Amino acid sequence: MDTQDHEILKMLIEDGRCSIKEIAAKVGLSSPSVSERLRRLQERGIIRSFTADIDPRALGYSLQAITRVRPLPGKLHIVRELLREIPEVIECDKVTGDDCFVVRLVIREIEELDGILERITDKAETSTSIVKSQPISRRPPPLCASSAEN
């Protein structure tokens, strides 16, 4: 990736709806050149998709929880599939350590939590924390080798 690719990515991170024409003007390229660079960035897997950033609170999900999940012996694959089927699970990482999965889920009210977790408690042990705030939201990794260069 060169400097212009970095600039294109920075612009898209700041505003995913930024037009190719706007990007071209900012980075000093033609619109077809920007389109070609975007295509190559997608082909290389650097840009995975163009998505909407949706605020769960706007949809009525006032709470988030982080749940550590430790499947019972022989239940790992079953638990993974059960987690995929729970629509309130918005992220799930398979991790090392005592637990196998760390799950982020959204709920409208605290009373919903038990019902969601009951779907897996006969196949896994869980430990849940309610998220009070998110001082750092999910963000892209630094575009340069050193974040001090950004």
Tens digits of residue pLDDT in 46-68:
999 888 888 999 999 999 999 99
Statement: residue 149 has pLDDT above 80: no
Question: What pLDDT score does 107 carry?
Answer: 97
Domain residues for the domain of 23 are 3-43
pTM listed for this prediction: 0.80
- Here the tokens at position 120 are 């897996």
User: Does any domain span residue 86?
Assistant: yes
Number of domains into which the chain is organized: 2
| Residues 50-55: contacts with CB under 8 Å, at least 24 apart | 50/16, 51/16, 53/16
Same domain? For 72 and 7 the reply is no
Please give the average per-residue pLDDT across 96-107, as a whole number.
96
Same domain? For 63 and 96 the reply is yes
Same domain? For 36 and 60 the reply is no
Q: What does the alpha-carbon distance between residue 97 and residue 71 come to, in Å, rounded to a whole number?
A: 13
Please give the average per-residue pLDDT across 110-133, as a whole number.
96
Q: What does the alpha-carbon distance between residue 116 and residue 23 come to, in Å, rounded to a whole number?
A: 44
Statement: residue 42 has pLDDT above 50: yes
**pLDDT tens-digit map of 13-34:** 888 899 999 999 999 999 999 9
User: Does any domain span residue 138?
Assistant: no
CATH number, domain with residue 8: 1.10.10.10
Same domain? For 74 and 114 the reply is yes
Same domain? For 34 and 92 the reply is no
User: Does any domain span residue 104?
Assistant: yes
